[in-house]
Structure formats: C-alpha cells, structure tokens
Amino acid sequence: MTEKPHDDANALLDGIDKTLSDFKTKAYEAKKSYDQSDLGRAHRELSMLGRFWSQFVRSCGWIYLKLIAPVTWRIYRFVRWAFARYRALWARCVYAKDAYGDPEFSKARGGIMILATIAVCYVVYCAVAVAATLPWYLATVRHDEQLYLSNSQNLSSSQTEGPEVHEVYGCETLPCTEQNTVTFRVRATWFNEIWSVLHHGSLFYPGYVAAAVSPVLNRCVITSYGVRKKFLVRSWDIYPDLVQVECMPTGAGEGQDSKVINNKDYR
C-alpha cells in the first residue's frame, strides 16, 4: 500500500514530461513550417534587414564619436571663439558718440567694417593657399632642369572669365615616347605670384612663360614643382606647375646628339 503513491507520482511526472515533449515537438514543427512559408521568409528577411541597418547606424555613430566629433568640436569651439571676438570688435567699431556723448550706431562705420572684414578674409584665404602650397613646393621643386619642350596651348577661353591657364608639352629625353612625355600647367596662383616677385621682382604672367616655348623642338632649362605621375593627371587632374623656362630651338639632329641630359637629382 505504501508503494502506490510513489508510482502515481512517477506516472504523473512521466505524463508531464511527455506533454512537454509533445508541446516542444509541435512548436518546433510549427516554427519550421512558418519559416518555410512565404510569410516566414519575409519576416526573416525583414529581421535581417533591420539588424543590418541597426548595426550600420551604430557603426556610423562610433565613427562620428571617435573620429569626427573630436575634430568638429574643436572647429566649433574655435568658430564660437572667433565669432565672439568679432562681435566685440564690431561693437567697438560701429558706434559713434552723439551730441550728448551716448553711443549711436553709424551706418558708415558699419559699412567700412564689412568691407574691412571682406578684405581681411580674402588676405587670410590667400595666406592659407600659399602656406598650403609651400610644403608641396619644397618637397617637389626641381631647379634648372634640362628637358625638351615642343608646344604650348592656351586652355583659358577669351569669352569666359577666369584665371589664365596654359599647358606645355614636352619630354624628358629623346626620342619622345609615351613613357617620357610630361605635361606642365602654367597658371597664376598666389604662390606662383609670390615666387615670381621674390625671384624676378615682377608678377607672374602665364602667357609670357608659355610664349617662351616655340612650336618646334626646344632644348629648355626650367624650374617646376609637382609630381609627374600620369595617373594623377588622368584621374585627379593634378599637373606639375611650370614657373620658369629658358628655351633655345634646336634641330632634330642636334637634339639626337644631346641625349646626355640626365633629369635625376635636379632638386
């Protein structure tokens, strides 16, 4: 009589285990059937798409917080500081005292302040352009380099406003091939203007520099800066700059005998 309750408990537990097992089996079969259905596949694809965009946005947030925000925050702080100083300077400059000694806004002073601001911004822009070009010039300049130039072309149109730009073609050695050809740009930039003033005492005139290259084969001594890589010219439109040239027309035979030109270490 004492064994019967124990047997009933075991039977009850076995029944519960069987019920749970049947429930899990039916749940698995239902899930499998749902996953194989059109609705299940659509739900799975939407879940994967949502997971992708969630991970993508979180990754973009990490890039912003770790790489962009530290830089933009410093720029923002500098802009706030500069604008506050400009407002203080504006308040000191645009007010004049009236007959009673009270400050009164002067439109003339305000206009002069605006014109002065534009002039200072332009000077700062030019200074930044020159400062940015100077390391590039020091790293790539070639003085008194000898090569052959044969033609120049004016790329600027007389009907459109814009900086005057010329293109000069040549080659480093003879005979000219697709491997040793080089193309220069002659353009009036602020750096070239300052360079010309320091070296020649006059402004830089691209047309006069390009005019020294006659439309024949010329043996030239030049000063230039920039990298002469064809993929930079083709992909990024980055040309070396020609700032000084001295040319002497020569015949093809004389040029053939002058192949002793060595263009290495002309810096």
Q: What is the pTM of this model?
A: 0.67
* pLDDT attached to residue 265: 43
DSSP 8-state symbol, 22: H
One-letter amino acid at 204 equals F
Burial of 5 (0-12, 13-18, 19+ CB in 10 A): exposed
Q: Tell me the percentage of the chain whose pLDDT exceeds 70.
A: 78
Parts of the chain with a pLDDT under 70 = 1-15, 22-23, 28-32, 34-35, 39-40, 157-162, 251-267
Rounded to 5°, angle at Cα 76 from 75 and 79: 85
At which residue do the structure tokens 């020609």 appear?
242
Phi, psi of 261 (to 5 degrees): -60, 130
Strands (E), the chain: 95-97, 103-105, 142-154, 165-171, 181-187, 218-225, 241-249
Q: How far apart are CA 72 and CA 260, in angstroms?
A: 54
What are the DSSP calls for 131-200, one per residue? HHHHHHHHHH-EEEEEEEEEEEEE-S-TTS-S--EEEEEEESSSS--TTTEEEEEEE--HHHHHHHHHHH
Copy the structure tokens of residue 171: 């080659």
**Helix crossing, 38-63 with 4-36: angle to 10°?**
80
Among residues 192, 149, 188, the alpha carbon closest in space to that of 171 is found at: 149
Q: How far apart are CA 124 and CA 144, in angstroms?
A: 32
| CA atoms 220, 224, 228, 234: torsion sign | negative
